Structure 1
């Protein structure tokens, strides 16, 4: 009996099954589809009306449709709601371009809490992931600063001097954790692609892999140091854990 056709069929079925198992990417920032920024669902978020807002505009650079952020002693986020299923598509992909890091910055001090580029994701954590003290502290903070204050935030940053992989609490609050993905000038003046597993990073930074995503934002900020800086952000999307990022060719 010839088993070759059956073997061929089984192999073909396995390949087809793998293809169907792959999830479609969740597109969050394809800036070729926008006429301007901010444009829904993106909006400018300011924390202090007395601080000038970072300027955001569309730009095509080296064949990549991007948002350009320009900060001059300024701070504001370009943000959008984020309702992601971290069980299906936990991997955040994007590419960014930085001219130069902020030389005067120091992430350990409030006076130096500035970054040429940051990717910012906020979360609502399950109650079991927070101590009673943390819940009480958040409740008090929301009374002062508003109910939109998130349980947790991860800031993926382009720093000036700390080693790649450095993590630490933000200088203003331990509910925002900083993670250095790039540092110094080695990777400046070119497009750099990034891939981060949000579920794994939540586990590392907040000791829980279960959370509801609330908001995604990009920023260049220099309100503490007064520096001039800028960055480009493009092709922001989510993919499944085993899938490749889907960056269109430049």
Structure 2
């Protein structure tokens, strides 16, 4: 079969529908975990047809603030919210997260090590005019097999296991996804860490050009490759315009 590896299945599952849900200048882009009454309030499960064991997500209170707790033990799944956001004025992605530990066998440079206690996945619109014949044919095959459309490039902000903080590398399954280590190692495990990223700047560094529209944002804690265990906590994720210079 043409579509076999986990990275492509991830892309398929990420955008099962391209229907826009939010616009940048109107309501808040991402449903706030702190205000949700259930995990289906603007987010939905991100599951993979070849992975039977799923990570577990639940709302819980941490110091009086509602967050999402993720537990992974040899499985993989996530939560996703779909978007249609044109990245003008350099939208800033901000969030806070915490992990119990990183994985001893984790390694962002290898397929067997491609697991993270916490990650945030940004999917961008596919640009057919920049794709070759094989890429376009692959996407038609996906539509026939799965009734879904693949997004284009993607950024993965990861709490890395050993990859140095600040490093950008291609995902071991596909160079369409770039991994960005925003935290690394166990040094801050058990602590809340706040992150802020300029998505346009990161996309340009990763792919050498300006990004197309953002089509989805997901959180995921996964350990299906390493078989290890970890717990992560995700606070609210926000997407706002950068302040004018």
Q: 1:137 to 1:208 in 2, by over 3 A?
A: farther
Corresponding pairs, count: 220
Q: Which moved more, 1:78-87 or 1:120-129?
A: 120-129
Give, in whole Å, the separation in 2 of the partners of 1:198 and 1:107. 20
Q: How does 1:11-26 map to 2 (within 5 A)?
A: 26=28
Deviation beyond 6 Å, 4+ runs, structure 1? none
Q: 1:90 to 1:130 in 2, by over 3 A?
A: farther
Contact 2:171 2:179 in 1 (8 A): yes
Q: Return the index of the structure with the highest Cα Rg.
A: 1
Give the secondary-structure state (helix, strand or coil) at the position aligned to 2:201. Answer: helix
Contact 1:105 1:114 in 2 (8 A): yes
Q: How does 1:222-237 map to 2 (within 5 A)?
A: 222-237=223-238
Structure 2 residue aligned with 1:201: 202
Give, in whole Å, the separation in 2 of the partners of 1:72 and 1:188. 17
Please report the TM-score for the alignment, with normalisation by the length of structure 2: 0.81
Structure 1 residue aligned with 2:35: 33
Contact 2:60 2:67 in 1 (8 A): yes
Report how far residue 126 of structure 1 moved.
3.3
Give, in whole Å, the separation in 1 of the partners of 2:130 and 2:91. 19
More helix by share: 1
Contact 1:92 1:239 in 2 (8 A): yes
Deviations 1:102-161 (A, max 9, x none): 111111221111001000010014345445565455555666666332211110000111
Give, in whole Å, the separation in 2 of the partners of 1:123 and 1:201. 13
Structure 2 residue aligned with 1:162: 163
Give, in whole Å, the separation in 2 of the partners of 1:25 and 1:199. 21
Give the secondary-structure state (helix, strand or coil) at the position aligned to 1:210. Answer: coil
Give the secondary-structure state (helix, strand or coil) at the position aligned to 1:214. Answer: strand
Contact 1:126 1:210 in 2 (8 A): no
Please report the TM-score for the alignment, with normalisation by the length of structure 1: 0.79
Structure 2 residue aligned with 1:6: none
